Structure 1
Amino acid sequence: MLRTNILKHGSMSSFLFVAFLYCLIPFEAGASNFAIVLRLGVATCLVLLVLLRFRPEITKTAAAYLGLLFVFSTMAALRGLSGGVLALACSAAFGVLIASAAIQSTAFRETLRTSLLLLIAFSVLTLLLQVVVYIYNGSVLDIHQLLYPVSEARIYQNVGFMRLTGFYIEPGTYSNWLYMLLMIYVAISPGRSTQLVLVVAASMIFTLSAWGGGVAALLIIVTALSSGKWRWVVLVFTVLVVVIIVVPADLIDGWFAVYEQKTDLDQISAGSKVETYAEFYRILDSVLVVGDGFKSSFCDFCLSPQDAGLALNISVVLGLLFAVGMFGAYFFLLLRAGEFAFATLSIPFLFTKAFYWDFVVWLLFFLVVFGCPRVVGKR
């Protein structure tokens, strides 16, 4: 399937694949804004190309969503202004235009589907390559720094093994972003993604991300129940069991120790999330309608407040009313379209550690609210 799609939609899909590597995938560049500028620049070039080649129309629905976003962004900016408002505007425009083009043009939808499939396959294969190299000679192949020389991957040493990341910056980022890329792909690829979902789920488990492990279990269960293709689920679990049998016992103990540490509320990782939610509850009355703004100092003392999830992130910046409206519309439209499986798989979307200005967030959101899965795929 991948080879056929590449041959049919070659050059444009290859361009999108490279562009997505440098605008959808997060990386860091020290204290400078180079990473943000590069991502914005690549996204701008991509949007201009899509505008010139496919000429998507901005519908009244799209204009209404952008209008609401502008109103809430303006109110939030009055409480605290920073470059985040520009990043949000660019990200929302990116999501609207790419989603509109995908819904209105069959040719672009196929091109987008192929580029996403390439990106997902590349994600899984680079992780597999890292695992093979590490098992073979004990060294870590830092693919992230090969692709993003200004950034440095956070590859963690645990009890006798490494938590590898593929070309992503850290294991949690691998799981979070691969999940969102997969959801975008499924949204425009009805009936084509059962095996891909299970492969992605299996790869998340091997990053030892606690969030990724939970999402992987959800992906496997919901996909099996909705598709009825239990043989693929059996195959995935068989592979996992074989791996567990082959891998030394002390390594397995180390894996379980990582999961236990990540889910123990007395430990730093899980405890930080609890602390973040407690702080949000404390300021809730001040962000009910208008957010804390783009220069918010919310939970500065917390370890990683963004790990508490996208819904909380948006609620703090733009207000709880906006977040409830945004995600309420998302799930209402899915349920109205009868997309119960996709709606269930979308629950982790609320808890991804993406920021409110990440391109991948608004691309997934607008694909769903403008067309809904299966509806998009059938046009």
Structure 2
Amino acid sequence: MTTLRVEHQCPQCGAPAVLEETDRIFTCGYCRVSSYLLQDGCFRYMLPHAAPEGRNLLYFPYWRCRGMLFSCGPDTIHQRAVDHSLPAAPAACFPQSLGLRSQAMTLRPASGGNGTRFISPAAAAPDAVLDFKAHFRRVLPEPVHVDALVGETLSMIYAPFYVDNALMDAVLNRPVAQAGPAEEAISDLPSAGADWTLRFVPTLCPNCGWDMAAEKDALSLACPGCRTLWRAGKDGLKRMTCLTLPDLDGFTEGRLFLPFWRITASVSGLPLASYADFARQANLPKVLRDGWEIVPFHFWTPALRLSPQGFLKAACAMTLAQPGDAPAGELPDGRCHPVTLAFTGAVPALKILMAALLRPKNRILPRLAGMTVSVKDGLLVYVPFRETPHEYVHSRFGLCIGRNMLRLSRQPRG
């Protein structure tokens, strides 16, 4: 997957800056003011143009979707990273893809101007995700019992055009369609109001006013002053609840706390309310103990971006471990990896976890597509890992996460 470069402007001093598409924290290199980027709905960007002076520009919308695609076949679970764009409105005269332009060019937040027209997308974001899933499903190896798009990031990119005896690509100033039929088809397309406002929220703790430093792609902000955790909401920063598992190994140096989502959900037609239920459904090589019937079962997934293989491995290990230690405190006392995968992005992985862990597969897999997973609760839990030269290790849970995997997951890839 590649990361888009987006041109921004500091709201405090006006200095220019170029960020990555996944960046949510903007720190100005001149005035040093940090802000959290917020926009209603998805983020919207526009390609730069080279149109002659005086041309009325027409911007056509494309959805761009990135994430991890999992598909479960009879014998294995396939996983891969996906990055694809699709037209957001029906118009045969426009190109069906952005090609490599969104990766090769620096974008700007979408905004209107004199003589500029934005074509309105034909579907809302949830329907666009369904379109991407249908598109990806057509290229999955058959047969597929269940598939899931996990950690999806949806954005909209507007490409510039204008009409001059033909429909012209305003990036290269080349025709893409004859003006007559194209102009008639374009005139019937509804326009969108360019009233999107990109808000910059200061990264100051709403509780104590402390400056909350954070990595640029973080979805959470931790206050070192009052030890609270915050996330972005529609009206600004919202308080987050988090818990921390105790470090029973006693390591204090070389320790890193990694965030996980602990998800409570019910599954139609399958008892998975307790740890005893899970032990039976997963055919664990354990003798059921007294009290397991009242121990609740939880799904666990990473709350950070990893490779698809690393994500599934970590989710399976934590779900099998079912940490029973009573979580202590809120923010951990030590180094914390920021949350980079939203709760809503992790939920689609639950059926894939069931496909990977439950037995026997010939009984579970054919039923997965018809099962309904109802999420009841989600909680952020920090888990302590011991740092080694090459990995972060949790020996009791049998989980190792490579240091390079964490480092590369936070860098743009081309």
Of structures 1 and 2, the one with the larger relative CO (CA 8 A, separation 6+) is 1
Which has a greater percent of strand?
A: 2
The alignment's TM-score, normalised by the length of structure 1, stands at 0.24
Task: Provide the TM-score with structure 2 as the length reference.
Answer: 0.22
- Per residue, is there more helix in 1 or in 2? 1
